[in-house]
Amino acid sequence: MSVVADRQPRGADRGSGTRRLLRWPAPAHAALIAVSVAYCLLVVWRTSQTMTLQYDEVVYASQVATEAPAARWSAPRARGMALLVAPVVVITEWVFALRVYLVVLAGVLMYLAFRPWLAVFGRVGGRYAYVPPVAAGCFATLWLTVLYGNLAYPNVWLAFVLLAGAGYVARAVIEPSPAWGTTIAIGAAFATASLLRPTDALATAGPLLLGMMLVRQWRRLRPMLAVGLGLLIGWGAWVAEAYARFGGPIERLRVGGETNQSGFVNSLPEHLYALDGPAVLCRPSSVCAGVEPVAAMWWFVLPVLVAVGLFAAARSGWGRMGWLVTSAAVAVALPYVFLIDYAAPRFLLPTYGLLMILVAAALIRVTDTSSVEMRAVAAVAVGGALVLHIGAQMYILNGVNERLVEGSARQEQFSDSLRDEYGVRAPCLIWGTSALQFGYQLKCRSIPALSRDASPEPSEQAILEAVARGESVVVRVHADVQIPAFMAGWRRVEPPGTGNYAVYLPPRGTR
């Protein structure tokens, strides 16, 4: 009898284990999956999957491309983004393949970013179990998150991995004994983040490590070591490259500071002006002067919602966790606001992603009342506000995306004309405005102009040497720029897509 009794539970356990694997996920988990899939579809619907690579994208892709020459690698950049696009770019330079890969990756990372938070808020219980999918929905509908969902810029990918890292840290400190899987996930998240942006990863990790040291109940050795090891991987690669290419870490930081116009500044107004596009980089800041009030409304509501979220956290027993997330979000934003004298809306994406945890808690708190009537009124008000907010975000997205797509079409038309009508083929050199993008498309070396009004005189030797070697050479300058004396005999041509620029080729008989 004892043997039979012993065997029956084992069979039952195997059956129950199978049922657990096959059963539908919990409602909050299912909602997060739905949001992640919807985000993928939104990116596909609202952005172009055939748009040519933009400036920063070319820098990263060209480092691993098999045919296009590698673009100049500046001191502030880190190798993580080049590694992220490598699985596609080393196989093919077909831009559609890269865009689709990034869209799918964005959906997967949206899910993974908020997945650990399900366990955190599952312990809080009640309606707060839905904080992760609500936070993901709020983050997924920002025009920035949609626009960069298929672009090879590091900021949105950094936001995803930092959210995941912070979530797994939060999960580790509330569990009596964190699982090894949680520890490994923490290390992987911060290693990826530090490969993408070492300084941002360090800024986010600082409050998390400090919290684990100061709060007695959160003191966990393994999570702290995992954060440190993850940072060591990215920073180790950065330091090694600093010695190999830039004369050491101090010199790299100095050169990087000069490149990014670093110093003690207050660029908060520039970040406000950047909220409504249409430029994706406000450099100089006059490019983004002024902002539409409707586009900026959510920026002023955000601190209020964060405050309500902190209140909700305090009332529901996770107040310290709320402050931990807020401090990490602020820490990653501070360098961009007070150390860099220009803005780009994408710079603050990690901050927005982290703060959405508090925003979601605030929205749930507002609609969680004991009165059925008040709950209905609050739900309608919040729903209406969200609809208006999403409408404004999609309106901004349309303007920014259309500008990028139109510029991409002109660039592609220009490159095709140079190749097909003027015979520009590798080996070749392109100097001037947007030279990096054209160089990638034509497989040419490129020397970008430092400004719209730049003259090719500083690069005279490089240009003449390329001509002497028989390379195809193209110089593209603004139409108002006076060409230097050494280009006096050059031909001025007008390929389609030239716009307000003048294009010069060497005299006939040379390439």
Euclidean distance between the first and the last CA atom of the chain, given in angstroms as a whole number? 93
Of the CA atoms within 13 Å of residue 241, those in its CB half-sphere come to: 18
Q: Would you call 478 helix, strand, or coil by DSSP?
A: strand
d(CA 483, CA 498): 17
Mean pLDDT of 172-190: 93
Q: Which residues pair with 505 in a beta bridge?
A: 491
The vertex-52 CA angle with 346 and 64, nearest 5°, equals 80
Q: What is the overall mean pLDDT for the chain? A: 91
Please state, for a pLDDT cut of 90, what percent of the chain lies above it. Answer: 77
The structure tokens listed for 312 are: 């909700």
DSSP string, 50-71: SPPP-HHHHHHHHTT-SSSPPP
Question: What are the φ and ψ backbone dihedral angles of 262, each rounded to 5 degrees?
Answer: -80, 150
How far apart, in whole angstroms, are the C-alpha atoms of residue 240 and residue 353? 30
Question: pTM for the complete prediction?
Answer: 0.93
55-113 confidence digits (pLDDT tens): 999 999 999 999 999 999 999 999 999 999 999 999 999 999 999 999 999 999 999 99
Tell me how far apart the alpha carbons of residues 280 and 375 are, in angstroms, rounded to a whole number. Answer: 40
Asked if residue 259 has pLDDT above 90, the reply is: no
Instruction: Report domain extents, the chain.
Output: 25-368, 408-505
Q: Dump pLDDT digits (tens) for 344-387.
A: 999 999 999 999 999 999 999 998 876 777 778 888 888 999 99
Give the integer Cα–Cα distance in Å for 360 and 374: 19
Q: Over the range 174-206, which residues count as b (16 or more CB within 10 Å of their CB) and which as e?
A: beeebeeebbebbbbbbbbbbbbbbbbbbbbbb
